[in-house]
A and B are shown apart, each in its own frame.
Chain A
Amino acid sequence: METPTALQNVLYMPRTFATTESNKTGAWRFLRPRYEEKTSPCGAACPAGEDIARIEMLITQGAFKEAWETILMENPLPGVCGRVCYHPCEGRCNRREFDAAVAIHSLERFLADAAARNETKPALPRQPAAGRRIAIIGAGPAGLSAAWFLNILGYETDIFEAMPAAGGMTRWGIPAYRLPEAALSAEIARIEAQGVRIHTGETVTAARFEEMRKSYDALFLGCGHWRGLSLDIPGATGVGVEEGLSFLRDIRGGVRRDIPGVSAVIGGGNTAIDVARTIIRRGGRAIIVYRRRREDMPAFAEETRSAQEEGVELRELLAPVRIDAAAGGCVLTLQPMTVVGQDQDGRGKIVPAAAAPVRIAAQRVFTAAGAGTAAPWHEPPASGASGAVLALSHCVLLQDDRGAPVVYGGDLAARDKNVTQAIASGKQAALALDVLFRHGVGSVRERLASCVVGHGPALSLEIYLGGPRRERNAHIVTYEEINADYFQYEPRLVQPRLLIEERHSSFDEIELKISAHTAMREAGRCFHCGICNNCDNCYLFCPDVAILRARDMTDRHIDYDYCKGCGLCVVECPRNAMTLEEETP
């Protein structure tokens, strides 16, 4: 039995029932935090300006449709780009400095495949009908992209395609093991379902082009570089020498052809690699000969690596001199080269080495030494030509008195010729034409500059249309600005691939599918640089309970009556979605 002491009865404890809210600690503040989303390095590096940080965030939430639609706002071909884009986004991923870049391209492909499998229909905002018709020549990625964005902007679009099916180089130049036909066709079908009309098998001649300049309100010329350039050496047009691009086109077109024995492939671009890997799949051996060094090859490094895995032989610093017919094929004569200093473009400058020529006996020689326009009128006009010529980063806009304005795009105008740059070109053309119709050609540069992602040159349709992304600061988040304490090391997704043996005999896609679970886990590695993912750290760390939000985590804002500017929220934000500034009187 305890003896109660007098003490406990008189315990003298001050307390107050008045609310502490009377103490407006905000008056102490000289630094002011605020929510301010910034630009992720991946999104700024994407030629199509995809909102990658947000896409990955939506994937972590299992919102696959919304993530896919977020891509479609900036890029109509995620199923293509998820497979064949050189993914500069991953090269700039801040996570590289932590462990390894997020496998952004695999997730993009996952979203496109999931949408295609489920036949998902995107719900995208379409602007009111503009009452104008645009003709697009060429159903390659540039033309499809231009049509897609013009369609969203309210224009009627007709694509004229000379080949029997749409897709351009993605269909006829990229082998099926990298881009299966079904994946491409699903994307084209969706573009058509949005209202884009595609007229295949319709070649547009120079005369018809001039006619269209009278009957349409604008034209987009995106017919690409379809003519493989031949080598300027003796024997380059002789027996046993084939042009690589048309070879790829034949194979994609269904020509069943075995290529036994040894074939030499001349060139260092993606076409050379694709030709060599196709030869492997047709029962032959392929030797790529390139006049510069391996590191100077314009082909994507991953493609070169895969080719070598499959048995393609790569011989560098050998310049072709002549091709001679010989019994059972031809003999390729090559001059060994050596590197002396640097070229203007930073690659090693090559000069003939003091060495005897090398001879390679091959059954066939394939040339893959670049491509050019099929007809001279495809070339964009130089500035100074008659009429107003506006040269943009990915397009050339011509306005003269011969008819409707023309935009030259895709490979015709792009410095870097690949699918994603072509998509960027199509988007730039669509936005430029919209500005031109609404505000006149004089406003095009300025208006386009106001909708770049980060510091450009990629453009964003969402920003152009005044969506939430417009509010983001152009500052590109650096790794130092990420609070890495909130992340754990986790290995990058390893995409399952066909065995080498399986690849030798088939054009089946090499990279296999990943599950939704795997995709969500990989997206979970993303820092979501610069964007708020409702992690609630600001709310949890605020010592003044000055972060207010609704129960469903929306409408998060700062109560400046009580925020005393300690900056904890900004420091604890793992992804730099907040900014701390000096209070201005």
Chain B
Amino acid sequence: MKKVLEGSQAVAEAVRLAKVQVISAYPITPQTHIVEILSDYVATGRMNAKYLRVESEHSCMAALIGAQSAGVRTFTATCSQGLALMHELLHWAAGARLPIVMGEVNRALAPGWNIWCDQTDSLAQRDTGWMQLYCEDSQEVLDATILAYRLAERVNLPTMVVLDAFYLSHTYEPVDVPEQEEVDRFLPPYKPAFTLDPGHPYSLSPLVTPNAYMEMRHDIALAMEDALAIFDEVEGEFARIMGRRYGAVEEIDTDDADVIFVTSGAVTSTVRLVLEELRSRGEKVGALKIKLFRPFPTEAVRRALSKGRKAVVVDRNYSFGASGIFAQEVRAALCNAPGHPPVFGYIAGLGGRDITTQMLSHIYFEVKESEAPLRESVWVGRQEVNRAT
């Protein structure tokens, strides 16, 4: 049924439909609406779940690791500083092969204290072993959250569903909310690969010596590789029931494009508008939306970008001393492909600054005019500021 929902509500609806059994969270703007709604669902009996209040995000993840080890489906949501505080246990959740699902609202890290959109918080967790799905609109947020459970439980790895602060979390859009029966068909009850059992006590994750640790890590690497294939398979099943499919990546007008934008998250929608405008003026421009960031769909990225003459990555994030993080990943994916296009990197919209259609047009024409990038990253839309003296 179509409803007008906030992105936060879309996450909460998905969690309810996924019949999550244990929720734990520590409130943080702009994640708060998600957990407010869920705590209300639990308190009023709309969800048959346990809601654990905790004193920090670190404890939150620790609680979920315990709950998931006991064999139940779990959920949390956080962002920014909260996600950073979880860092240690993000590694643990993945290493312990627990398919925990998290709603991650992209918010800038302090200082300066900033609650607005920026992807650096989730991208800084790229090496923790969590899968990451970046969403463009609230419908995708809802669908990705349901899908994340299926995917995570298949490969026994935790998954973040990532949505832009405010652009998605606090914006109302029409969202098609599936029926419970449809979700039940897609997402069977959680069957854990292993559970703690008080009747036969043992403890998980004890000391592991050099003669076994590497195999455990390799196992996670294999699971990530599997996840790429399983993602397509699971999405296929989702599409058969719900009639919607997104792909690990989505190519937009790439077939005859000279310049291909690479985007993630809500800014993709802005790029779609720019593409319409530029195409109507005869410009050969396309876009590649990357939804699945971990595991990184290297082959699909290579295939898509090899169609164009130039790739331009718009990053709403930055790795200091290097470049935009998506740009890094795209360059790494292309570098072993012979004759790959040059990769232009642009940094825009940090800390919630709007990325406008004008800005994107400007980037397009700058790239169109340039043979090769002069710098790894070009920061766009900067303004005059009063500096501390």
Contacts and interface: CB of A to CB of B under 8 A. Distances in A.
Interface of A: 2-3, 5, 7-8, 10-18, 20
List the 10 shortest-distance A-B pairs measured between CB atoms, nearest first: A16-B206, A12-B219, A17-B202, A15-B202, A14-B208, A11-B193, A15-B204, A7-B226, A12-B216, A5-B226
A12 B212 CA distance: 9
Give chain B's interface residue range (CB within 8 Å of chain A). Answer: 20 to 34
A11 B203 contact: no
B222 interface: yes
B93 to A, nearest CB: 13
Contacts of A10: 219
B194 interface: yes
Contacts of A15: 194, 202-206
A92 B155 CA distance: 64
Looking at A3, A5, A18, the one whose CB has the most chain B CB atoms below 10 A away is: A5
A221 B136 CA distance: 94
B96 interface: yes
A8 B156 CA distance: 8
Contacts of B154: 2, 5, 8
A11 B219 contact: yes
Contacts of A5: 154-155, 226, 230
B202 A7 contact: no
Looking at A8, A11, A13, A14, the one whose CB has the most chain B CB atoms below 10 A away is: A14
A11 B219 CA distance: 7
Contact of A14 (B205, B223, B230): B205
A148 B43 CA distance: 57
Contacts of B208: 14
Interface string B110-149: 0000000000000000000000000000000000000000
29 contacts: A2-B154, A5-B226, A5-B230, A7-B155, A7-B222, A7-B223, A7-B226, A8-B156, A10-B219, A11-B156, A11-B219, A12-B215, A12-B216, A12-B219, A13-B96, A13-B193, A13-B194, A13-B204, A13-B205, A14-B204, A14-B212, A15-B202, A15-B203, A15-B204, A15-B206, A16-B202, A16-B203, A16-B206, A20-B203
Contacts of B202: 15-17
B226 A3 contact: no
B256 interface: no
B193 A8 contact: yes
Interface in B260-279: none
Nearest to A19: B201
Contacts of B226: 5, 7
Interface in B353-384: none
A20 B204 CA distance: 11
Contacts of A7: 155-156, 219, 222-223, 226
B13 to A, nearest CB: 25
B55 to A, nearest CB: 12
Contacts of A2: 154
Looking at A3, A12, A15, A16, the one whose CB has the most chain B CB atoms below 10 A away is: A12
B36 interface: no
Overall SS of chain A's interface: loop
A16 B208 CA distance: 10
Interface in B169-196: 193-194
Contacts of B215: 12
Contact of B194 (A11, A16, A18, A20): A11
Contacts of A11: 97, 156, 193-194, 219
Nearest to B216: A12
Given A5-B230, A17-B202, 13 more contacts: A5-B226, A7-B155, A7-B222, A7-B226, A8-B156, A11-B219, A12-B219, A13-B193, A14-B204, A14-B208, A15-B203, A15-B205, A20-B203
Contacts of A12: 212, 215-216, 219
Nearest to A2: B154
Contacts of A17: 201-202
Contacts of B212: 12, 14
Given A2-B154, A7-B222, A13 B206 contact: no
B192 to A, nearest CB: 10
Contacts of B96: 13
A76 to B, nearest CB: 50
B375 to A, nearest CB: 42
Contacts of B204: 13-15
B66 to A, nearest CB: 13
B329 interface: no
Nearest to A9: B193
A102 to B, nearest CB: 30
Nearest to B225: A7
Contacts of A13: 96-97, 193-194, 204-205
Nearest to A1: B237
B233 interface: yes
B206 A14 contact: yes
B247 to A, nearest CB: 20
Contacts of B193: 8, 11, 13
B135 to A, nearest CB: 25
Interface string B232-268: 0100000000000000000000000000000000000
A8 B192 CA distance: 10
A14 B155 contact: no
A16 B97 CA distance: 16
Contacts of B194: 11, 13, 15
Contacts of B230: 5
Contacts of A8: 154, 156, 193
A17 B200 CA distance: 9
Nearest to A5: B226
Contact of A3 (B222, B223, B233): B233
Contacts of A20: 203
Contacts of B216: 12, 14
A17 B215 CA distance: 21
A8 B223 CA distance: 9
Nearest to A14: B208
Nearest to B206: A16
A10 B194 CA distance: 12
A13 B68 CA distance: 14
Nearest to A10: B219
Interface string B145-173: 00000000011100000000000000000
A14 B203 CA distance: 9
Contacts of A18: 206
B379 to A, nearest CB: 42
A16 B226 CA distance: 28
Looking at A2, A7, A10, A12, the one whose CB has the most chain B CB atoms below 10 A away is: A7
A8 B226 CA distance: 11
A418 to B, nearest CB: 50
A13 B94 CA distance: 11
Nearest to B204: A15
Nearest to B157: A7
A360 B20 CA distance: 85
A10 B97 CA distance: 12
Nearest to A3: B233
A5 B228 CA distance: 13
A15 B204 CA distance: 4
A2 B205 CA distance: 28
A388 B233 CA distance: 103
A17 B155 CA distance: 25
Contacts of B223: 7
B268 to A, nearest CB: 31
A304 B97 CA distance: 74
A7 B193 CA distance: 11
A57 B233 CA distance: 64
A384 B129 CA distance: 90
Nearest to A20: B203
Contacts of A16: 202-203, 206
B155 to A, nearest CB: 6
Nearest to A16: B206
B129 to A, nearest CB: 14
Nearest to B200: A17
B199 to A, nearest CB: 13
A12 B95 CA distance: 10
